[in-house]
Amino acid sequence: MALFMVVLVLVFILALSICTALLRWNELKFSKKGLPPGTMGWPIFGETTEFLKQGPNFMKNQRARYGSFFKSHILGCPTAVSMDPELNRYILMNEAKGLVPGYPQSMLDILGKCNIAAVHGSTHKQMRGALLALISPTMIKQQLLPKIDEFMRNFVSDWDNKIIDIQEKTKQMAFLSSLKQIASVESTSIAREFMHEFFKLVLGTLSLPIDLPGTNYRRGLKARKIILTILKQLIGKRRGCQESHKDMLAYLMSKDDNNRYKLSDAEIIDQIITILYSGYETVSTTSMMAVKYLHDHPSILEELRKEHMAIREKKRPEDPIEWNDLKPMKFTRAVRKIVIFETSRLATIVNGVLRKTTEEMELNGFVVPKGWRIYVYTREINYDPFIYPDPLAFNPWRWMDKSLESQSNFLIFGGGTRQCPGKELGIAEISTFLHYFITRYRWEEIGGEKLMKFPRVEAPNGLHIRVSSY
């Protein structure tokens, strides 16, 4: 027994020595003079585990130790983390000075090399122009909103007297609504297989890029291959028939003079995946959290319901929501800000954005080597009491002060040339969903499920509500 204990102690000491040596080796590897202070964690893995598990607390602890600009190694790459508002604005506004998009390798591999987050310069201008042409206010008003209205009306039509997982429903809603806008006629036939693989793809984008069986990264890559097959077949069928379509895919495929942006099939496919991906998480999570916050604040819900009921009183039951219905209501415009601004602020659906250095540069007096990521971490701004008094309160009326939208710290939708191009489309989708949901139903939460807010806002066990007719 004594011998066994001695061996056990020796094994422990050896393991501890190896771990210490590995940590020390990794620190020395990134010990170039002038680098920001900070720790780099383990070889290959870095501090990804701590970052994903501890989230905001990890960031706060590192800032307390090293200041608002520090180094780390997360999601597979050495990273300089900026929690300095002034520096964040500079980084976001200066893509031309060597600060290009720097999203994790897992995201670039799974979303495709032509996705709008991966490209920069003239290619980004081309891809962004093609995307903006699809979701311009005119397109939303004339083509997209009627599709959104029809979809949302039918999607919530059979929820009466049911217990539903609103998290699962809003995920389905966000994906299926976008798919209908992309491929209106074929969306029903491809939806089931596409959605199943798409959810795997989403999980894979925020993972270590280690291609091993059972990892989210491997599942995401496999899902991408299946989705590519589905989209290639869809494009092939479109080219093989003479029927005309009025949807996003038809515009992307168009070669006439009305389409300034001629894209290859590979670019079209990555654009479609980008549209689905970029809108999916923000629309689904914001919708879920809006339902949650409105349930918890009945007075705000009733104010919103009054104005939406006033819209319905002027229409026949079968009449759709139109663009002009969303504009004249003061409080509803504020509640649309609840949905997008206050919900996004309080839930912090977007924690920050990533950039990459194309050359060695100096920032805040420190050297950031070429090829490093810079994580512009904006989460803490959302809880700054000097900007948002009583920051943990859900208070839509704070957004009646329009100066909040124009102030320089307003980064909910990103900043610079990378500001979210789908902002108005997302607002239209969430507003239409809430219109049909709150004018038809009342609801109560059951189960009291736990909410997580990092790295994604989600209810691990779902968010279940009992729905009844209003």
User: DSSP per residue over 302-368, as a string?
Assistant: HHHHHHHHHHHHTS-TTPPP-GGGGSS-HHHHHHHHIIIIIHHHHHTS--EEEEEESS-EEETTEEE
Q: Quick one: average pLDDT of 430-455?
A: 89
Nearest Cα neighbor of 211 from 111, 110, 117 is 110
Give tens-digit pLDDT for 87-110. 988 888 877 677 887 888 888 899
Q: How far apart are CA 295 and CA 291, in angstroms?
A: 6
Give tens-digit pLDDT for 248-307. 888 888 876 666 667 888 888 998 998 898 888 889 999 999 999 999 999 989 988 988
**124-346+380-469: CATH, from 3.30.930.10, 2.40.110.10, 3.30.390.50, 1.10.630.10:** 1.10.630.10
Listed as own residue / partner, the contacts of 26-32 with beta carbons closer than 8 Å and 24 or more positions apart are: 26/73, 30/71, 30/73, 30/78, 32/367, 32/369
Check residue 55 and give left, alpha or beta (phi > 0: left; psi -120 to 50: alpha).
Answer: left
Q: Calculate the average pLDDT of the chain.
A: 83
Give the distance, in angstroms, between the CA of residue 286 and the centroid of all CA atoms in the same chain. 10
pLDDT of amino acid 3:
57
Nearest Cα neighbor of 201 from 177, 183, 225, 179 is 225
pLDDT of amino acid 398:
85
**Per-residue pLDDT band at 15 (split at 50, 70, 90):** very low
Q: Quick one: average pLDDT of 365-381?
A: 90
Nearest Cα neighbor of 71 from 106, 31, 15, 111 is 31
- Residue 265 burial (CB count, 10 A): 14
C-alpha radius of gyration, the chain, whole number: 24
Q: How far apart are CA 95 and CA 352, in angstroms?
A: 16
**How many helices (H) and strands (E) would you count in the chain?**
18, 10
* Burial of residue 28 (number of CB atoms within 10 Å: 0-12, 13-18, 19+): exposed
Q: Are strands 77-82 and 373-377 parallel, antiparallel or unpaired?
A: parallel
The amino acid at 421: P
Cβ distance 172 to 195 under 8 Å? yes
Q: Any idea what DSSP says for residue 36?
A: P
